Amino acid sequence: MKRWHIWPRSLAGQMAALLALALFVAQAINFGLILNERANARLMQAARLAVTRVADALEREANGGRPLLADRGRIRRQPTNPILPFLKTPEPKLEAELRRQLTAAGIPFRQVDTNRLGESDEGTDRAGWKGARHYNRPGQMEIAVQQPDGRWLALRAPWPQPGPRLLIALLTQTLILYGIVLLSVLWIGSRITRPLRTLATAARAFRPGEDAEAVEERGPADVRAVIAAYNKLGTRVTAMLDEKDRMLGAIGHDLRTPLAALRVRVESVEDDDDRQRMADTIDEMARMLEDILSLARLGRSSEAVTEVDLAALVDAVAEDFRDLGHDVATREVERLPWRIRPATMRRAVRNLVENAVKYAGAAEVVVERTASGACIAVLDRGPGIPDDKLTHVFEPFIRVETSRNRDTGGIGLGLALARAIVQDVGGTLSLANREGGGLAATITLPPPRN
């Protein structure tokens, strides 16, 4: 099943996504604050206008001016509540603000009612507003204030509805902000991630002993410092490996010389059995030394990578064992050219075949091309390996057969060396018990690098 990754994986993408999310949250909060501010301003404006008109009308009437009538004027006095209670759409916040401002203005009242007018409210008119100019259109608020004597003052105040202009303005502002900020973040992120990707590629391709160009120091100062540290680290690692190779060469030379001298001295031993046992011991020590040095030097091989026929290489290994009288079978396959280090790969295959012959008495080697590369399988019908030890046998100096019998001898480096050789070319070595008994050791090689 295909999995969709919504969150970006790159650093620049994550920075842009986090900033976009933060901007969205900030703009949402800003939008809410602006809407609340506009609502409070509309509330204050409508209440202030209504209270001002009521105060002016009452003051004018008290000073002998025109009295308040029921059918004309901005402020009309009604004997009953002009707002029908069962049809009204009240605004409680506006009513509370009206009561507060009426109290602050010193205007006595008993009750305040409001009704937000709509398209169909003309038929509910009880105060005679129908003929008045602009009074019955939507966007008006009907306000009724009950005086202490029980009569009502009726008036209309503007109640504008929020239009799309505010939303359009905020969206435009958001888009402009996103465009400017996100483009800047993506540019900054690319300056950081591009040299980091180059550094990651160089680190993955790093092979000790191979001449590799230093990674160019680019990007911000911190990134350049990381790249410079990596270049120095590569130089130090190469120098340490060179020193290790020189030390191993000296150790190998110093140990091979006395072993060769012992081999010569053994020939002077008169007892044939003793001479043969001593010679076998010296040969075993020489093989042990060779295995240890080969495992330690792996990854720093002086052997060049060349194109060889895998099928011919495997057949040559099998032929060597057949010459020694062992039953090692192969299958006829077509030519399979591959770029490898032939000597080291031959040694890996030889170790696997040697184990199969040693524990099963016979082996079959199969080479074939696969969809993902090539496969070399060494099959036997021996006792196999317990499932809980299939992975442990790859560790150096680990043996499934724990006796000291020379016929099943060794120091437990054969599989470790074989796996290290295969992994050095990017392949894998796996072990699996076969149905019906036996073991299958499978080398999987990836397509050769150009």
Q: What is the pLDDT of residue 406?
A: 46
Q: What is the pLDDT of residues 280-291, one digit of tens each?
A: 787 777 777 776
Amino acid identity at 152: W
Angle at 108 between CA 105 and CA 111, to 5 degrees: 110
pLDDT at 148: 92
Q: Tell me the mean pLDDT in the region 420-425.
A: 82
| The pLDDT value given to residue 135 | 46
What is the structure's pLDDT at 270? Answer: 78
Q: Please state, in angstroms and rounded to a whole number, the distance separating the CA atoms of residues 96 and 114.
A: 10
Per the listing, tokens 């081999």 go with 263
Q: Output 182 or 53, whichever has higher pLDDT.
A: 53
User: Residue 8: is its pLDDT beyond 70?
Assistant: no
What is the mean pLDDT of the segment spanning 288-306?
Answer: 66
Of the chain, the end-to-end C-alpha distance in Å amounts to 33
Whether residues 118 and 224 fall in one domain: no
Considering only CA atoms, which of 422, 427, 417, 207 is closest in space to residue 293? 417
| Weakest-pLDDT range from 41-55, 61-75, 374-388, 393-407 | 393-407
Share of the chain above pLDDT 90, in %: 12
Q: Would you place residue 2 in the very low, low, confident or very high pLDDT band (cuts 50, 70, 90)?
A: very low
The whole-chain average pLDDT of the chain stands at: 79
Q: What angle do CA 269, 273, 278 make, to 5 degrees?
A: 60
Does residue 350 sit within a domain? yes
Task: Give tens-digit pLDDT for 69-116.
Answer: 887 888 888 888 888 777 678 888 889 999 999 999 999 999 999 888
136 and 244 belong to one structural domain: no
Tell me the pLDDT tens digit for each residue of 224-276: 888 889 888 888 887 877 777 677 667 766 777 777 778 777 877 777 787 78
Query: What's the per-residue H, E or C state across 132-190?
Result: CCCCCCCCEEEEEEECCCCCEEEEEEECCCCCHHHHHHHHHHHHHHHHHHHHHHHHHHH
Reply yes or no on whether the pLDDT at 413 is more than 80.
Answer: no
Least confident segment among 55-64, 161-170, 371-380:
161-170
Residue 294 has pLDDT above 50, yes or no: yes
Are 222 and 327 found together in one domain? no
**For residue 195, what is the enclosing H or E element?**
helix 164-205
The CATH number covering residue 314 comes to: 3.30.565.10
Burial per residue of 333-371, b for 16 or more beta-carbon CB atoms within 10 angstroms, e otherwise: beebebebbbebbbbbbbbbbbbbbbbbeebbbbbeeee
Please indicate, yes or no, whether residues 324 and 431 belong to a single structural domain of this protein. Answer: yes
- Conformational region of residue 398, where left means phi above 0, alpha means psi within -120 to 50, and beta covers everything else: beta
Does residue 275 sit in the same domain as residue 316? Answer: no
Instruction: Say if 323 falls within a structural domain.
Output: yes
**Same structural domain, 228 and 108:** no
Q: What pLDDT score was predicted for residue 379?
A: 92
Same domain as 216, residue 87: no
Location of structure tokens 């019955």 = 136
Work out the percent of the chain whose per-residue pLDDT is above 70: 81
pLDDT in tens, 131-164: 444 444 557 888 999 999 999 999 888 887 766 7
Confidence category of residue 12, pLDDT binned at 50, 70, 90: low
Instruction: Tell me, yes or no, whether 107 and 125 share the same domain.
Output: yes
Question: Once rounded to an integer, what is the mean pLDDT over residues 63-72?
Answer: 83
Contacts of 235 (CB under 8 A, 6+ apart): none
Residue 63 or residue 131, greater confidence: 63
Last residue of a domain, one of 272, 300, 328: 300
Asked whether residue 439 is assigned to any structural domain, the reply reads yes
What 3-state class would DSSP assign to 440? strand
Q: Return the amino acid letter for 6.
A: I
In a domain, 330, yes or no: yes
Determine the pLDDT at residue 10.
Answer: 61
pLDDT at res. 131: 42
> How far lies 306's CA from each of 206, 332, 341, 450, in Å?
20, 23, 6, 11
Predicted pLDDT at 172: 83
Cα–Cα distance for residue pair 213/234, rounded to 1 Å: 10
Residue 311 in any domain: the answer is yes
Total of domains in the chain = 3
Split at pLDDT 50, 70, 90, the class of 122 is very low
Closest to 114 measured CA to CA, from 78, 154, 74, 80 = 154
The rounded distance, in Å, linking the Cα atoms of 89 and 82 is: 13
Domain boundary among 300, 335, 370: 300
| Chain mean position to CA 193 | 14
Q: Helices in 267-337 by DSSP H: which ranges?
A: 272-297, 310-323
Both 18 and 143 in one domain: the answer is: yes
pLDDT value of position 222: 82
Range of the domain at 241: 210-300
Write down which residue in 273, 300, 327 finishes a domain: 300
- Distance (Å, whole) CA 276 – CA 80: 132
Q: How many Cα atoms within 13 Å fall on the side-chain side of residue 66?
A: 11
Cα separation, 97 vs 365, whole angstroms: 95
Query: In terms of Cα–Cα distance, which of 237, 358, 347, 357 is closest to 300?
Result: 237
State the Cα–Cα distance between residues 427 and 432, nearest whole angstrom.
Answer: 17
Residue 373 and residue 433 share a domain: yes
- 311 and 261 both lie in a single domain: no
DSSP run (H or E) holding 414: helix 414-424
Are the C-beta atoms of residues 397 and 438 closer than 8 Å to each other?
no
373 assigned to some structural domain: yes
Domain assignment present for residue 175? The answer is: no
- Do 267 and 361 belong together in one domain? no
Report the pLDDT value the prediction gives residue 19, as an integer from 0 to 100: 75
CATH number at residue 281: 1.10.287
Alpha-carbon 410 to chain mean position: 45
**Single-letter amino acid, residue 37:** E
189-220 pLDDT tens trace: 777 778 888 888 888 877 766 666 788 888 78
Query: Is 314 inside a domain boundary?
Result: yes
pLDDT tens profile 313-335: 999 999 988 988 899 998 888 88
CA distance 194 to 199: 9
Q: What are phi and psi of 2, to 5 degrees?
A: -75, 135
